[in-house]
């Protein structure tokens, strides 16, 4: 479960987007559906991510945040000795929706758009 408590505490302030961005970028990337957002590669590289806040809206109970997430992926080869596939990182981008509960800070995240180059 993802809890974005720092972002919830900053809700309604000018610092909200900066705090949210920092909190998401410091999450364990294994908690994010990055694999679902791949469009050019087959495997997520467990590295740093960059987050762009695209849109923020709210309902009575939830803060909805649309983000752009930039991260790296690779095309893993077949593991054969003569496999010519180079293992080099490629930049991936997808859009994710974070829904933050205003009471508990419990958050869900889903890929809402993957960009195919």
Average pLDDT rounded to a whole number, residues 72-78? 79
Minimum mean pLDDT range among 4-8, 29-33, 39-43, 54-58: 39-43
**What's the whole-number average pLDDT of the chain?**
91
**115 falls in which pLDDT band (50, 70, 90)?**
low
**34 falls in which pLDDT band (50, 70, 90)?**
very high
Average pLDDT rounded to a whole number, residues 61-87? 81
pLDDT in the model for residue 24: 98
**pTM, rounded to two decimals:** 0.87
Share of the chain above pLDDT 90, in %: 74
DSSP-derived secondary structure for the chain? -EE-HHHHHHTTSTTHHHHHHHHHHTS-GGGS-GGGG-SS-SEE--S--EEEEEEEEE-SSEEEEEEEEEEEEE------TT-------EEEEEEEEEEEETTT-EEEEEEEEE---
């Amino acid at each position: 479960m993802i809890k974005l408590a720092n972002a919830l505490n900053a809700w309604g302030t000018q610092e909200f987007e900066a705090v949210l961005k920092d909190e998401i970028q410091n999450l364990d990337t294994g908690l994010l559906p990055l694999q679902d957002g791949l469009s050019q590669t087959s495997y997520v590289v467990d590295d740093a991510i960059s987050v762009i806040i695209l849109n923020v809206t709210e309902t009575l109970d939830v803060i909805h945040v649309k983000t752009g997430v930039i991260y790296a992926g690779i095309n893993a080869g077949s593991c054969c000795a003569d496999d010519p596939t180079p293992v080099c990182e490629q930049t991936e981008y997808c859009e994710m929706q974070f829904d933050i509960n205003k009471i508990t800070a419990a958050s869900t995240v889903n890929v809402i758009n993957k960009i195919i180059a």
